[in-house]
Amino acid sequence: MPVYKKLRYRTIADILRDKINKGDLLPGKALPSQKELASIFNTSVMTVRQALAILEEEGLISSSHGVGTFVASGEARGRNIRLQGFTDEMEKYKVKITTKVLGMDYSVKNSHIKEILGKHSKGVCCLSRIRLVKDNPIILQRSYLPLQFKEVIKNFKGNQSLYACLSEAAGTLTTGREIIIPVSLPSQEAELLRVQTGTPAFLSYRISYNILNQIILFDEAYITGRRVSVAVKQTGRQHLFHYAVIMDEKQGLPSLLTRPDFWEEV
């Protein structure tokens, strides 16, 4: 890279963006450190951070604490690819969610979950939570992480987004795969969700990948069917879905089909 003098952060972002789009910086390639970029552009590290923040928001790069900053894959370029968790999603719909942390386990003995998290996982830790709306429990969630991210769990507060915390430690979470099946609630889960054993519910299994295509998170969530719905919007062959909290159980669900505000964010 040539040396550029007295460039502001937006100009630096423009230069780096141009190099990414032209292929001078290839997908998966590590960028120079912030200190090195500051030297290259003859500016401060703070200015470089501002420039990188713009590119990360655009989905062109991903920063991983202690690892570095990498160019995103071509598939992800030009759009915001930050994967959102349930808390982030509900904020879009102005639904106030409270979270109660049930426990943290740093020595999960489950070979199947360890296999899901992959070879880079030296062990498995788990964060268990209950999600509530107006003091009504709606989701029981167990989040499994590779043991090297146990500090994320240790420092986690109930009002935080786990996705945001993990993105700082493991790089931006960009891709999620989810399977949802109908189940009858087992006794332990039913008690925590304050419903009767055998009550119908959804069971969601979800894995989340970071920008380096590593599986960082495996979620298992029991979702109460009478308080949460899964809404799907189809356009051609594309299907987009979101979770929707049913604030008024007496309201007829078919009426939501014609409410623009219910679908505008999907």
In a domain, 261, yes or no: no
Q: Are residues 24 and 116 in the same domain?
A: no
In a domain, 245, yes or no: no
In a domain, 252, yes or no: no
CATH of residue 158's domain is 3.40.1410.10
pLDDT tens digits, one per residue of 161-184: 888 888 778 877 777 888 999 999
CB neighbours of 139 closer than 8 A, spacing ≥ 6? 86, 130, 131, 221, 222, 223, 224, 228
Q: Are residues 129 and 199 in the same domain?
A: yes
> How many separate domains does the chain show?
2
Give the integer Cα–Cα distance in Å for 28 and 148.
22
Neighbours of 39 (CB within 10 A): 14
Mean pLDDT over residues 256-261, rounded?
Answer: 71
pLDDT tens digits, one per residue of 118-136: 877 789 999 999 999 888 8
Which tokens go with 236? Answer: 């051609």
Instruction: Give the global pTM.
Output: 0.66
In a domain, 193, yes or no: yes
pLDDT tens digits, one per residue of 56-105: 877 788 877 777 888 876 544 444 445 566 666 666 656 678 899 999 99
Q: Are residues 51 and 144 in the same domain?
A: no
pLDDT band at 252 (very low <50, low <70, confident <90, very high): low
CATH of residue 23's domain is 1.10.10.10
In a domain, 122, yes or no: yes
Return the closest-CA partner of residue 84 out of 174, 153, 17. Answer: 174
In a domain, 72, yes or no: yes
Give the integer Cα–Cα distance in Å for 118 and 71.
23
pLDDT band at 222 (very low <50, low <70, confident <90, very high): very high
Query: Which domain range does residue 159 map to?
Result: 86-224
Residue 8 has pLDDT above 60, yes or no: yes
pLDDT value, residue 242: 72
Q: Are residues 119 and 209 in the same domain?
A: yes
Supply the DSSP string of 178-238, one letter for each residue. Answer: EEEEEEEPPHHHHHHTTS-TT-EEEEEEEEEEETTS-EEEEEEEEEETTTEEEEEEEETTE
In a domain, 258, yes or no: no
Return the closest-CA partner of residue 103 out of 158, 65, 63. Answer: 158
